[in-house]
């Protein structure tokens, strides 16, 4: 009877430790939010952005309007509506969110940041776009308003400063 009792206690203790290891977070991982990129989230971002194609560009556009956008009010609106992700109002502040991504590892839904011109050495961020996959950017600027443009081999690529994954 004593051996059976010890055996049952051993099994219960083993199961308890095993379950604790599965459920309990690893040391140092408490309260760590892991943003997980998924194709579904990325598609939702792009499809939401497409709804605004052709909307005029207006520098300093208010976050509360969808009649006009500037680059960062556009990305702010798209991510909030598509996936509930809150982004700061300016492109420079948006460039501090998420995790850094190299130009060669861009995925659909990544934010891409640019400097003012191809000739300046100043890396000050002046524009943000959403990488739409297949060498396309979804963003707003100047005359076309919200539009898709090519990325690689264009002045946009030459103005590239950084990219962030916020999904």
Catalytic (active-site) positions: 71, 127, 139
Do residues 131 and 148 touch, judged by C-beta distance below 8 A? no
Report DSSP letters for 23-79, one per residue.
HSPPTT-TT-------HHHHHHHHHHHHTTTTPPB-TT--TT-SSSB-HHHHHHHHH
Taking the CB of residue 54, how many other CB atoms lie within 10 A of it? 9
3-state class (DSSP) for residue 89? coil
Q: What are phi and psi of 68, to 5 degrees?
A: -140, 155
> Rounded to an integer, what distance in angstroms lies between the CA atom of residue 55 and that of residue 146?
5
- In degrees, to the nearest 5, what angle opens at C-alpha 22 toward C-alphas 19 and 28? 130
Residue 128 burial (CB < 10 Å; 0-12/13-18/19+)?
A: buried
């Amino acid at each position: 009877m004593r051996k059976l009792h010890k055996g049952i206690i051993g099994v219960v203790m083993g199961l308890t430790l095993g379950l604790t290891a599965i459920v309990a977070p690893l040391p140092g991982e408490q309260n760590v939010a892991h943003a997980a990129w998924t194709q579904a989230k990325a598609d939702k971002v792009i499809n939401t952005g497409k709804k605004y194609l052709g909307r005029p560009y207006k520098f300093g556009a208010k976050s509360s309007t969808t009649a006009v956008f500037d680059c960062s009010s556009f990305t702010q609106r798209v991510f909030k509506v598509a996936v509930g992700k809150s982004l700061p109002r300016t492109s420079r502040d948006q460039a501090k969110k998420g995790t850094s991504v190299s130009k060669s590892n861009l995925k659909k839904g990544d934010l891409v940041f640019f400097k003012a011109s191809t000739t300046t050495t100043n890396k000050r961020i002046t524009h943000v776009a959403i990488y739409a996959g297949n060498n396309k950017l979804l963003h707003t600027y100047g005359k076309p308003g919200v539009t898709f443009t090519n990325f690689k081999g264009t002045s946009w690529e030459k103005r590239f400063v950084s990219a962030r994954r916020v999904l």
